[in-house]
């Protein structure tokens, strides 16, 4: 079975490196690290999927779902992972392909090997996440990374974001005439507000430093 996968892999990667009709072929000229072998360890499935997704996006964007699945399977080796891989390969060979996209395959893989542990871990991590001294840009990127595997969406996702950002920004956005409702609007408007606040602080510090340097004292009120 592994020999069959390797034979298919050679054909798939060989074709992926060539520019396809209507494509730019840019990805074929970019060096990309390939994923490490996955042997069914639950804590590693998320990283494995991310590495595979990045490679496929750059090197095999035009490949069929079956070609992409075969390529991913070539990096799944060891123990019960081999049994799962063999079952998937048999479905492919029998024409019983049940994945309409590579993302659907990744979802199935996470359920098979993650056992729900990764989602629980991300949920706990999200609950503990707070902006504190980070810029809003930094906080949003960290928040997005954790959210991808947490299972949160919609209104609940917005509530988690509101809880994590600094209180002053949260209050200002909730008190405006038209507060943001979607998570994307919260990202955007919180970032703008945080950026303006930091800019204002830098300006105040500059003016304060200038006043101290010149020795000017505030005039006493009459």
Q: What is the pLDDT of residue 26?
A: 46
Rounded distance, CA 119 to CA 42, Å? 11
pTM of the shown model: 0.49
Rounded distance, CA 202 to CA 154, Å? 35
The pLDDT tens digits for 18-72 are 544 444 444 556 677 788 999 877 778 888 888 999 999 888 888 888 889 999 9
Burial of 88 (0-12, 13-18, 19+ CB in 10 A): buried
Rounded distance, CA 157 to CA 149, Å? 12
Positions in the chain short of pLDDT 50: 16-17, 19-26, 217-222
Q: What is the pLDDT of residue 56?
A: 92
Q: Among 77, 60, 95, 69, which residue's Cα sits nearest to residue 3?
A: 77
């Amino acid at each position: 079975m592994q020999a069959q996968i390797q034979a298919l892999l050679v054909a798939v990667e060989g074709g992926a490196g060539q520019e396809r009709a209507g494509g730019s072929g840019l990805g074929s000229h970019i060096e990309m690290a390939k994923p490490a072998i996955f042997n069914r360890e639950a804590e590693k499935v998320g990283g494995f999927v991310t590495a595979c997704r990045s490679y496929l996006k750059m090197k095999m964007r035009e490949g069929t779902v079956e070609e992409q699945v075969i390529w991913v399977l070539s990096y799944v080796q060891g123990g019960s992972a081999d049994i799962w891989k063999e079952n998937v390969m048999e479905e492919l060979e029998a024409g019983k392909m049940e994945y309409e996209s590579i993302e659907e395959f990744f979802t199935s893989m996470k359920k098979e090997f993650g056992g729900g542990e990764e989602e629980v871990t991300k949920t706990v991590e999200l609950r503990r996440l707070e902006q504190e001294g980070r810029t809003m840009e930094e906080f949003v990127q960290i928040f997005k990374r954790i959210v991808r595997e947490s299972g949160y969406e919609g209104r609940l996702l917005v509530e988690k974001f509101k809880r994590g950002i600094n209180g002053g920004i949260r209050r200002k956005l909730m008190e405006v005439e038209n507060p943001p409702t979607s998570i994307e609007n919260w990202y955007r408007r919180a970032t703008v507000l945080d950026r303006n606040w930091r800019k204002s602080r830098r300006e105040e510090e500059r003016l304060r430093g200038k006043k101290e340097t010149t020795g000017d004292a505030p005039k006493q009120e009459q």
